[in-house]
Amino acid sequence: MSRRRGCLRLGLKVAGAVSLVSIAVVAWKWATWPDVAALASSNPRTTAFIERYKAAERRAGRTPHVQWTPVSYGQISPHLKRAVLVAEDIDFFDHHGFATDELEIALKEAWEERTAPRGASTITQQLAKNLWLSPSRNPLRKLEETILTVQLEHALGKRRILELYLNVVELGPGIYGVEAASRRYFGEPASELGERQAAELAASLSRPSTWHPGVDRRGYQKRVELILRRMDKAQFLWKQI
């Protein structure tokens, strides 16, 4: 009997400790949760992915050099907007942050390219991850991404979400946003990019550390051509962007 009581007391202590830890975690998350609505009128000062890159550079004994120049929606070429949409989330303007059709599209692309399928996250989900989260796929991180995606869609308009995404996405080692990438690879602002240049930048999104304009890799070049073909077919995007 005494042994059972001892086990019961131990179980209650463990349960109490777990409850306290859970409450502490929830409280910490609540206190540090991002102010999503603030992005309606102001740009982020940094992102989780930029800070992760800086930390990795410091660990390697290097001084981190980040190229990042946010610009307004109107300063981004419509060709570039179209290229990114057909590459990452062609139904962006028609869904509310989540799109089950993206998985089917990703698998179809993988079959055409003879490569592993890309992630099927929407642009809104990718923005949440880039701004505040890690690349991890653990359940808690995915739950946070889901909540932040809903908040982004509720607080911001579609064009603002797309503008933010285009301004923070990684497009090469230490290169973030389409303006910095455009000037780095083409020597001109993002507003001046033509269709092929736009496709070359959009093709970088799936593998930004190794795929970028000027790279000769077959997989990258096939991706560029696929994006150009999809841009040609998706004429309806002109009315949405």
Per-residue pLDDT of the chain (241 residues; tens, 9 = 90+): 566 666 556 555 554 444 433 343 344 354 579 999 999 999 999 999 999 999 999 999 999 999 999 999 999 999 999 999 999 999 999 999 998 765 566 556 556 655 545 457 999 999 999 999 988 878 888 999 999 999 999 999 999 999 999 999 999 999 999 999 999 999 999 999 999 999 999 999 999 999 999 999 999 999 999 999 999 999 999 999 9
Q: Are 203 and 215 in contact (CB under 8 A)?
A: no
Phi, psi of 176 (to 5 degrees): -130, 135
Q: pLDDT, tens digit, for every residue of 78-123?
A: 999 999 999 999 999 999 999 876 556 655 655 665 554 545 799 9
Question: What would you report as the CA-atom Rg of the chain, rounded to the nearest whole angstrom?
Answer: 21
pTM of the model: 0.84
Q: Which residues contact 195 (CB under 8 A, 6 or more apart)?
A: 79, 83, 228, 231
Q: DSSP string spanning 99-114?
A: -THHHHHHHHHHHHHT
Helix (H, G, I), strand (E, B) or coil at 98: coil
Locate 150 and state its tokens.
């809903």
Q: pLDDT, tens digit, for every residue of 122-142?
A: 999 999 999 999 888 788 889
